[in-house]
Amino acid sequence: MKTKLTFAAALLAATMLSGAAGAKTFVYCSEGSPEGFDPGLYTSGTTFDAAAHTVYNRLLEFEQGTTETVPGLAESWEISEDGLQYTFKLRPGVKFQTTDFFTPTRDFNADDVIYSFERQWKSDHPWNQYVAGGSWEYFSGMGFPNLIKSIEKIDDMTVRFTLNQQEAPFLANLAMPFASILSKEYADKLEADGQMQLMNQQPLGTGPFQFVAYQQDAVIRYRAHEDYWNGKQAIDDLVFAITPDASVRYQRLSAGECHLMPFPNAADVEEMKANPDLKVMEQEGLNIAYLAYNTQMEPFDNPQVRKALNMAINKEAIVDAVFQGMATPAKNPIPPTMWSYNEEVEDDPYDPEEAQRMLEEAGVTDLSMKVWAMPVSRPYMLNARRAAELIQSDFRQIGVDVEIVSYEWAEYLERSSDVNRDGAVILGWTGDNGDPDNFLHTLLGCDAVGGANRAQWCDEEFNNLVVEAKQTTDPDERTRLYEEAQVVFKREAPWATLNHSLSIVPMRKEVEGFVQSPLGDFAFEGVDLVE
Amino acid sequence: MFRFLIRRLAVLIPTFIGVSIIAFAFIRVLPGDPVVLLSGERGMSPERHALIMQQLGFDRPLYIQYLDYLAGVLSGDFGNSIVTRRPVLDDFLALFPATLELSLCAILIAVVLGVPLGILSAVRRGSWLDQTIMGAALVGYSMPIFWWGLLLIILFSGVLGWTPVSGRISLLYFFPSVTGFMLIDSLLSGQAGAFKSAVAHLILPSIVLATIPLAVIARQTRSAMLEVLSEDYVRTARAKGLPPRRVIGLHALRNALIPVITTIGLQVGVLMAGAILTETIFSWPGIGKWMVDSVFRRDYAVVQGGLLLIAGIIMLVNLFVDVLYGLVNPRIRH
Amino acid sequence: MATTNPKSADAGIGLEGGPDTAATRRAMLSEFWYYFRQNRGAVVGLIVFTLIVLVALFAPLIAPHNPAMQIRGSFLLPPVWQEGGRWEFILGTDAVGRDILSRLLYGARFSLFIGLVVVALSATVGVIVGLIAGYFRGPVDTAIMRLMDIILAFPSLLLALVLVAVLGPGLLNAMIAIALVLQPHFVRLTRAAVMAENGRDYVTAAKVAGAGNLRLMFKTILPNCTAPLIVQATLSFSTAILDAAALGFLGMGAQPPTPEWGTMLAEAREFILRAWWVVTFPGLAILITVLAINLMGDGLRDALDPKLKRS
């Protein structure tokens, strides 16, 4: 089955190579293999880039280059007075892709929307467990199972979502990859053929590119969707060349084997900028790296101690040594590109002497503590080990002994969530939907203690602010609440905010129309190659 | 001969069961919960965690899980990857040709260069040539190949720009996978330049992977040759005035090659270990890299299935070598 | 990489059995030294190895810097002979401003330590298990050898990798894992040697004289199997260093900031195109050390193996 399909695809590609001279092929050296092609099942950006941003669309989309939502497959929507009912008018005349493996007979409609959400929502849905042991991580992570009361089809082109409580970030959530809209007709066909697992191997949607073939751990191939509702793409073929090693990606890029790459080694960026064949885009990423104290443990339950330690950390040195300068020191728990970022907040100065004095004043002497360093490299923290070593030598200066500990990644995540954890944890976060709620409530709210709130920090004043902001739909009011929350955060200092990393995208000179996403996505809609 | 084969197979079965128990047990005691990784920094509620564990069947008693697994394995089901959810066997079969192609090229280089160099060394025993070859062989044998690979990349890809850095073929070429061997498929595709590209991609990884087997084979051939050359019948042949070339070619070589064959067979395990490093360095999409990635991703099912499949292959190859050895050397047949 | 040199497995039994007095021992030693000296490579290996041992012992005295000290503002300085290099850092600095030379010197300690511990562990366990298997035979032997077959069925590095993943990444666990995958070679070798010796007259004589099992195993038989074991131990020493470095390189061995050579290489990988020196020197150090040990190993084998001596 598989060979036959790739063969057919290959014939097509071969004819295109030989016949249609000037067919534009855009090659993206991606950083890893997708886990699968059903964006609902996974959480990694790699998978979203390969499936959600190529093959699929969502009801709402993030406007390219921003975190604002714009109409996607939904043309317009209305929110009821009480903020509980969202009614979406769907875009008419949207075509699904026609591929070697499926030919659609109808346009996109309400059935597709309902199918796409119900399969993730209802545990008795035939597609809920179509992949053995599969789980809908984001759907549950964003709280949808408790949030959604009903999804109804009003007519073929109208769908209504009813919520159990007010949730201001709901619209932004619908623009996230897990909310991609699949084809109900394709699903029905696969179900009838007893081939349901193909949904995760041969995706089919309404997006700008259609799936052609995947060679495991090597190459994914796509072709422009002829009837794409937003206009056929300028490039004919899109290729993801899977290249996990950053220095190899760079070599391929400079050799012209690919046109664009994600996540360069910070060490290579200067050289890339000097290379006349390349251009480099950079933007502050929607992320934060932090050192979270356990605020429920002595002596870290004392804000003055936390503050003192924060003042002993030389963030500039971390930015230099870990990111080769490709990051900015952080003062707030949300990144500067996010709305409601509070410019007024002043960062704790780097002042070891004052820090030592404050520690003595708090009655803390001979302190020895653990600092946890993540075993993996993440976009917000390329090398936690290195950062931990720098913090260790910073703290030694003020007489605090640091033991660096690390665990295997899964264990690290699990153990660091424990309320009784010993030590301060280096960790970070990359925003999902561009909403401050996704940082401030998700990472620092009282609900998240014992979970994503690694500081185990439950501050009544702060929590009230972020909960209120969640239930308010007025943007100005929300901004005010979040700005105030950031002031409380800085005063109480549950974290040392370390840095926001820059997201750097090197590409060939001939690449036009690529827009850097603050969410860290790599989406190639609108990209072109101009000699 | 037949009884010999049966006996060897009879030994293989308990070993295979032992291997499967070890592969299974390893993975159960692996720290770090793969389910936790699914939700990353966000974390997961205990209820949800329990639910997923149950869906994956991890909540059942261990011996039931094992028997289930064994039954699956016997019917060709090696379980599904926890990360990708694809069947482990499918991934293995998709990636194995890449490793096989690389290994075959490496062993080819090792044999084609190693055997003649070893013979040359033995024949010219004590000469500067012998010393150079054996010196080089010892360096090769002592080589940390992961570093060797990096050096070659710096030199040939970085400084000289002669070879591509990674992958199996240039992305310009796209053709169906018929045999899974890029060299053959690229020829079948009939696309101009495809074969050349495949060769260029294969050359550095093959050299790196061949380094240690080449050294071992050269050394082994030399000492086997030396031993044979000192045997009585060779001396007799020499004394009878046969030309040296004939003595070496006809009498000595044939007998010297018997232990060399065993050595070559033994290199399969070495190649697999080497493939782990070589594939990691060159981003070669084969099972060595797949195993390393899976270990890091805590993909229980893949590590377990991969260990079993790889051990199974090595056992079969060793059996094959044993049988071959028995065929060429009747004295072994007990 | 962990396979032993095939030659050692069937190497001869070495020194003749019988009563060993101080005089014969001295004679044997001088004979050994005579043959060892014949092999120029082995002597070079011995000299280099001695130097490495000295470096490891006196690392704190000769290293110009503290290997863990990060000198701010001197990130990725090239070696002294290249433009931008400083005499202060003869082989340059790494990404966080640590002196590479000092780290290499200290790294020698780790590599030798790894080699020693692994060999001690795998040889002790392997010899005891091998003695038991070879001496008692029967079902004990079968069970032990089957277990060894199972271990040998996996590629050694893969097995070590998974073992370390199970035990948790780190130097100690890496050493345990490598010792475990190396010990079947000792078991097989000891067993074969014991079985060959068991039928000899002097063993029978000791049996008749009423020696107990333990005494027979350890005092009578074992000393006469030492030659191949010494050769095997040397080979395992170098294999252990290589495998530990490989595990370090894969991120499963010693953890940074330990100046272990393989771990240094792993850390240096991202600078491969920008700073060749951070990649080149640690690997060179591994190669030189392993080469020296293997040269010695060859010499030892030649000197201890009477069969080769004759040819």
Domain of C82, CATH number, reads 1.10.3720.10
Share of chain A above pLDDT 70, in %: 96
Q: Length of chain A in residues, anyone?
A: 531
Alpha helices (H) along A157-227:
170-174, 184-193
> Are the C-beta atoms of residues A457 and A442 closer than 8 Å to each other?
no
Tokens of A466: 């972020």
Which of the four pLDDT bands, split at 50, 70 and 90, describes residue A17? Answer: very low
Count of the separate structural domains present in chain C: 1
Interface pTM, i.e. ipTM: 0.85
The residue with greater pLDDT, A504 or A134, is: A504
Share of chain B above pLDDT 90, in %: 27
Segment C260-291, tens digit of pLDDT: 999 899 888 877 777 888 889 999 999 999 99
Is residue B14 within 8 angstroms of chain C, CB to CB? yes
Give the pLDDT of residue B176: 75
Q: Which residues contact C29 (CB under 8 A, 6 or more apart)?
A: none
Q: Spell out which residues of chain C touch residue B226, defining contact as CB-CB under 8 Å.
A: 311
Tokens of C271: 């600078």
| B15–C5 C-beta distance less than 8 A | no
Which of the four pLDDT bands, split at 50, 70 and 90, describes residue C309? Answer: very low
Alpha helices (H) along chain B:
2-29, 34-39, 46-55, 62-74, 88-123, 128-141, 145-152, 182-189, 194-229, 232-239, 244-246, 253-282, 287-297, 300-328
Top-confidence range, B133-147, B228-242, B270-284, C225-239: B133-147
Give the pLDDT of residue C27: 81
The residue with greater pLDDT, C54 or A376, is: C54
A150: alpha, beta or left, given left = phi > 0 and alpha = psi -120 to 50? beta
Beta-bridge partner residues of A90: A74
pLDDT tops 70 at residue C7: no
Give the pLDDT of residue C9: 37
Residue in C with minimal Cα distance to A271: C274
Three-state DSSP at B235 gives: helix
Q: How many CB atoms lie under 10 A from the CB of residue C71?
A: 16
CA–CA separation, C241 vs C114, rounded Å?
A: 6
Segment B228-276, tens digit of pLDDT: 887 777 777 777 777 777 766 666 777 777 778 878 877 887 888 899 9
Q: Which domain holds residue C131?
A: 47-308
Give the pLDDT of residue C30: 83
| A408–C168 C-beta distance less than 8 A | yes
Q: How many CB atoms lie under 10 A from the CB of residue A205?
A: 29
Give the pLDDT of residue A134: 76
Query: Is C37 within a domain?
Result: no
Give the pLDDT of residue C21: 67
pTM of structure: 0.80
Q: Spell out which residues of chain A touch residue C167, defining contact as CB-CB under 8 Å.
A: none
Task: Say which amino acid occupies B291.
Answer: M
Give the pLDDT of residue A519: 87
Tokens of A233: 């793409």
Q: Length of chain C in residues, anyone?
A: 311
Q: What is the mean pLDDT of residues B113-131?
A: 91
Choose among C79, C82, C98: nearest CA to C90: C79
Segment A166-206, tens digit of pLDDT: 898 999 999 999 999 999 999 999 999 999 989 999 999 99
User: At how many degrees (to 10) do helices B145-152 and B253-282 cross?
Assistant: 70
pLDDT tops 60 at residue C80: yes
Give the pLDDT of residue A208: 96
DSSP assigned state of C99: B
Is residue B283 within 8 angstroms of chain C, CB to CB? no
Q: Which residues contact B278 (CB under 8 A, 6 or more apart)?
A: B102, B145, B149, B205, B208, B209, B284, B288
Q: What is the mean pLDDT of residues A293-318?
A: 94
Q: What is the mean pLDDT of residues B156-170?
A: 80
Q: What is the mean pLDDT of residues B6-12?
A: 81
CA–CA separation, C148 vs B19, rounded Å?
A: 11
Query: Is C2 within a domain?
Result: no
pLDDT tops 70 at residue B70: yes
Give the pLDDT of residue A496: 96
* Facing B273 at nearest CB: one of C1, C273, C284: C1
The residue with greater pLDDT, B254 or C127, is: C127
pLDDT tops 50 at residue A461: yes
Per mean pLDDT, which range of A270-279, B44-53, B74-83, B98-107 is the poorest? Answer: B44-53
Whole-number average pLDDT of chain C: 83
Give the pLDDT of residue A202: 94
Task: Say which amino acid occupies C162.
Answer: V
CA–CA separation, C270 vs A267, rounded Å?
A: 8
Q: Which residues contact A412 (CB under 8 A, 6 or more apart)?
A: A372, A374, A375, A406
Whole-number average pLDDT of chain B: 84
Query: Is C12 within a domain?
Result: no
Is residue A377 within 8 angstroms of chain C, CB to CB? no
Give the pLDDT of residue A163: 95
Best B30, B55, B165 residue to mutate vs chain A (most A CBs within 10 Å): B165
Give the pLDDT of residue C224: 76
> Are the C-beta atoms of residues B284 and B205 closer than 8 Å to each other?
yes
The residue with greater pLDDT, C21 or B48, is: B48
> Are the C-beta atoms of residues A60 and A48 closer than 8 Å to each other?
no
Q: Spell out which residues of chain A touch residue B290, defining contact as CB-CB under 8 Å.
A: 217
Helices then strands, counting H and E runs in chain A, come out as 17, 19
| C275–A268 C-beta distance less than 8 A | no
DSSP assigned state of C178: H
Give the pLDDT of residue B34: 67
Q: What is the mean pLDDT of residues B25-37?
A: 71
Query: Is C25 within a domain?
Result: no
Is residue A241 within 8 angstroms of chain B, CB to CB? yes
Per mean pLDDT, which range of B27-31, B195-199, C68-72 is the poorest? Answer: B27-31
Q: Which residues contact A487 (CB under 8 A, 6 or more apart)?
A: A342, A344, A345
Whole-number average pLDDT of chain A: 90
Q: Indicate if the alpha-carbon torsion angle A316, A319, A321, A326 is positive or negative.
A: negative
pLDDT tops 80 at residue B29: no
Which of the four pLDDT bands, split at 50, 70 and 90, describes residue A371? Answer: very high
A493: alpha, beta or left, given left = phi > 0 and alpha = psi -120 to 50? left
Give the pLDDT of residue C20: 55
* Facing A265 at nearest CB: one of C255, C257, C270: C270
CA–CA separation, C41 vs A212, rounded Å?
A: 59
Query: Is C135 within a domain?
Result: yes
Is residue A418 within 8 angstroms of chain B, CB to CB? no
Strands (E) across A275-367 are located at: 278-284, 287-292, 327-329
Query: Is C265 within a domain?
Result: yes
CA–CA separation, B195 vs C162, rounded Å?
A: 36
